[in-house]
Structure 1
Amino acid sequence: MSGAAPEALPRRPRLHPLVGTARNHIRSALELLGAQKAEATDQDGRPAPPLLLVACSGGPDSLALAAVAAYFARPLRDGRQLWRVGAVVVDHGLQPGSADVARRAAGQADALGLDPVLVRRVEVDRPGMGPEAAARTARYEAMDRAAEETGAAAVLLGHTLDDQAEQVLLGLGRGSGTRSLAGMPARRGKYLRPFLGLRRRDTEELCAVAGLEPWHDPTNRDPKFLRSRVRTEVLPFLEDRLGPGVAEALWRTGRILRQDADYLEELAEREYQRLHTVTAAGIELDREGLAELPEAMKQRVIARAAAQLGGENPSYERLLAAEALLRRKGSAGPVQLAGKVSVYRKVRGDKFAQDERGYGNLVFRATGP
């Protein structure tokens, strides 16, 4: 008995290995949210899947992130949808045609199926800030507002291993401490960086696989910007002289130092809670308890006191000056710390309890609005 051969089922297109890797990176990043997914509802007030917003400039990194993230908005076989995925495009207005670049980025995000797609124009001019810092501040303010308006559970950023290597190298060049050398965190609040383990060339390949045409920001190669010089001159020079793998080594260093910094800051918080007192003058740190701490812990507790009053992270030199007040030699201060916070040592002219507890304590106070 003979019959026609059964018709072969169409084969599924084979998944590109890099796409699978990128999806796993996003999946791991989403696990960082844990039970803290934002509660969301639709227009009728019914429960809705939490929203992820991709920060999309239209460059290779963010466009690749948008393309891969779109996968997570697809319904499962049982019809459930675990996530919604949208995008926020920030137009800094710093270059001619920036509005067109933003519209093109938004159009590509929309074509990928992302919804909603928001475009935000910002003013970058910030007194007292350099152009890079001002642009970054304006960008994050816009993304914060977009996340708040949409109730997003997270904002995904497209920073790569190369960006992390540059960040660590910049911190090293500035003589920064452990926290700065740790680079960018995989998560900070609602912000997630899923692609910190991927190279920049990987995101370019992901765009090619998806048939996307990314925009290449000319400022990324402009030598007047420090990060651009690190990217186009310093890192290639190190790779040439030290051999390949420098970027990966810097990324690995950042990961190790982040673990150390997290642990030390946890210990510093415990010591700060033990040693500080809130007073009418500001924040007071117990001299004897502070003097007994190791140097690294002592400086972290001093920095934490300044931060509690709204100050910025003090420089190493300012921390040493504040620490020197404990030795009761020379001036009792004040020492001015960054962010309009000063610190001084209590002397005998101040008011004390009868047992003179508090003599020599460090007092931190805000010196401006």
Structure 2
Amino acid sequence: MLQESLAAAGYPQRVLVACSGGADSLALAAVAAYFARRGHVDGHPIEVAGVVVDHQLQEGSAEVAGRAAAAMEDLGLKPVQVRTVEVAATGFGPEAAARDARHGALEAAADDLACDAILLAHTLDDQAEQVLLGLARGSGTRSLAGMRPVRGRILRPFLDLRRTETLEICAAEELEPWHDPSNFDPSFARSRTRLEVMPVLEEKLGPGVAESLARTAAILQQDADFLDDLADRTYDELVHRTDDGVWLPEEPVRDLAPALRFRVIAKAAADVGGQQPGYGRLQAAEALLRRQGSAGPVELPGSVSVYRASLSQLEQEAASQSGGVAREGARCGKLVFRHSKKPQH
């Protein structure tokens, strides 16, 4: 559990527990506080701080945040901060906007408190719901792989723990968790999944559905990591950078296996400041590879435009030197990616 998570991260000496006051995060704070009192994990020194993020989305949120902070202080975590954030509309829904604001506040708190790791209390149930939501949206491998146990300085030590077990930890520690009303609000897809979909699956398919979905995520994480590493190397070999964007020679991109081709296109979009495109937008950009002459632009999320242009003789030579084969002169082209809100040269 927590020991394994900290070991996987190289035993960070100072960690930050993110706590909402709910059962999962209070249980995590209690477990982390146990090691803080001991002063070490497997012989490695540890200090534990705490942070509560107040999203200001519900009446009385400041009071809830204050109670959560007081609970962490009573457990012995120090220092404990409350960070208030403004949740701005992002175009990706209220849950995504709140998540972005929360993660920004957590990273800022970790910097401020000189913490090497941030502990989040997502459970096996959260992981199962994440995979199920990804399936419902028709998402790709990376989305279905769910949440990583370790990502940068974010650690999720409870991903093998059921939600019922965090309630048991709170009861044993005589902690009174806060029950977030949004978890029971059917207007949120995750709440509907938790309250309506998962119970039906457990009833109709038998117990163990959540564990199976979480196991699927663990398997797909390995597959996604392999493909992403391969796509990173391929992209680095093919990309050409300019003052106002990047371009990819179309022939070697066209020759890639589809799983790599779509990832390379997505990486080019991210390279110029875009966001992860959905499958439909990626298909539209990929279709430019089958055009001749100028074509596009195709608009991708994050104000990125991609279009097809013909290679000049100099660019054909550059593409050839970097692995591309420009065999057909003017028929050979390039995919150009530019951020449409940045000045063009």
**Structure-2 residue corresponding to 1:31:** 7
Aligned to 1:22: none
What residue number does 1:88 align with?
Answer: 51
How far does residue 289 in structure 1 lie from its aligned partner after superposition?
A: 1.4
| Amino acid of the structure 2 residue aligned with 1:92 | H
Superposed CA deviations along residues 128-161 of structure 1, whole A, max 9, x for unmatched, are 3522122112111111110010110111000000
* Runs of 5+ consecutive residues of structure 1 not aligned to the other structure: 1-24, 38-49
Q: Is the 8 A contact 2:309 2:335 kept in 1?
A: yes
- CA deviations on 1:315-357 (whole Å, 9 max, x unpaired) are 111111111111225861111111111111113xx64329677
- The aligned counterpart of 1:365 is 338
Mapped partners of 2:85, 2:108: distance in 1: 12
Q: Helix, strand or coil: the match of 1:334?
A: strand
Give the TM-score of the pair, scaled to structure 2: 0.90
The answer for the alignment partner of 1:353 in structure 2 is 314
Q: Does 1:262 align with 2:225?
A: yes
Which one-letter code corresponds to 1:193 in the other structure? R
CA shift at 1:162, angstroms? 0.3
- The residue type paired with residue 353 of structure 1 is L
What is the Cα deviation at residue 104 of structure 1?
A: 1.0
2:100 counterpart residue number: 137
In structure 1, the partner of 2:326 is: none
Cα distance in 2, alignment partners of residues 29 and 98 from structure 1 = 30
- Which residue type is aligned with residue 362 of structure 1? L
Structure 2 residue identity aligned to 1:143? L
* C-alpha contact 1:178 1:257 (8 A) present in aligned 2: yes
Distance (whole Å) between structure 1 residues aligned to residue 58 and residue 256 of structure 2: 51
Match of 2:181 among 213, 218, 222: 218
What pairs with 1:216-255 in structure 2 (closer than 5 Å)?
Answer: 216-255=179-218
**Could you tell me whether the CA contact under 8 Å between 2:37 and 2:76 is conserved in 1?**
no
Superposed displacement of residue 254, structure 1: 0.5
Distance 1:343 1:127, change over 3 A: closer
The residue that corresponds to 1:158 in the other structure is 121
Return the match for 2:138 from 161, 175, 181: 175
CA contact (8 A) 2:20 2:65 kept: yes
Q: Report if the CA contact (8 A) 1:342-1:364 is conserved.
A: yes
After TM superposition, list the pairs within 5 Å mapping 1:281-360 onto structure 2.
281-328=244-291, 332-347=295-310, 351-353=312-314, 359-360=332-333
Contact 1:281 1:363 in 2 (8 A): no
Query: In structure 1, the residue corresponding to 2:21 is in which secondary structure?
Result: coil
Gap runs ≥5 in structure 2: 320-331
Which structure shows the bigger proportion of residues in helix conformation?
2
- Contact kept, 8 Å, 2:118 with 2:153, in 1: the verdict is yes
Query: Please, what TM-score do these two structures have when normalized by structure 1?
Result: 0.85
Deviation at 1:169, TM superposition (A): 0.5
- Across the aligned residues of Structure 1 and Structure 2, the Cα RMSD in angstroms comes to 1.9
Give the aligned residue type for 2:7: E
1:187 to 125, 147, 150: 150
State the 1:81 CA deviation. 7.1
- Gap change, CA 1:180 and 1:354, over 3 Å in 2: closer
* CA displacement, residues 86-124 of structure 1 (integer Å, 9 cap, x when unaligned): 110111122222111111111111111101111112222
Q: 3-state DSSP class of the match of 1:89?
A: strand
Please tell me whether the aligned partners of residues 75 and 81 of structure 1 are also in contact (alpha carbons under 8 angstroms): no
Deviation per residue, 1:33-62 (Å, 9 max, x gap): 227x4xxxxxxxxxxxx3211001110000
- Aligned residues: percent identity? 59
Which of the residues 55, 61, 66 maps onto 2:18? 55
Q: Distance in 1 between matches of 2:293 and 2:309?
A: 13
Q: C-alpha displacement at 1:290, in angstroms?
A: 1.1
Report if aligned partners of 2:293, 2:308 keep a CA contact under 8 Å in 1. Answer: no
Q: 1:318 to 1:330 in 2, by over 3 A?
A: farther
Give the 3-state SS of the residue equivalent to 2:295 in structure 1: coil
User: Which amino acid is 1:133 matched to?
Assistant: A
> Are the aligned partners of 2:293 and 2:309 in contact in 1 as well (CA < 8 Å)?
no
Quick check: 81-90 or 176-185, which moved more?
81-90
Q: Residue 274 of structure 2: SS of its match in structure 1?
A: coil
CA distance in 1, matches of 2:44, 2:75: 17
Report which stretch shifted further, 108-117 or 271-280. 271-280
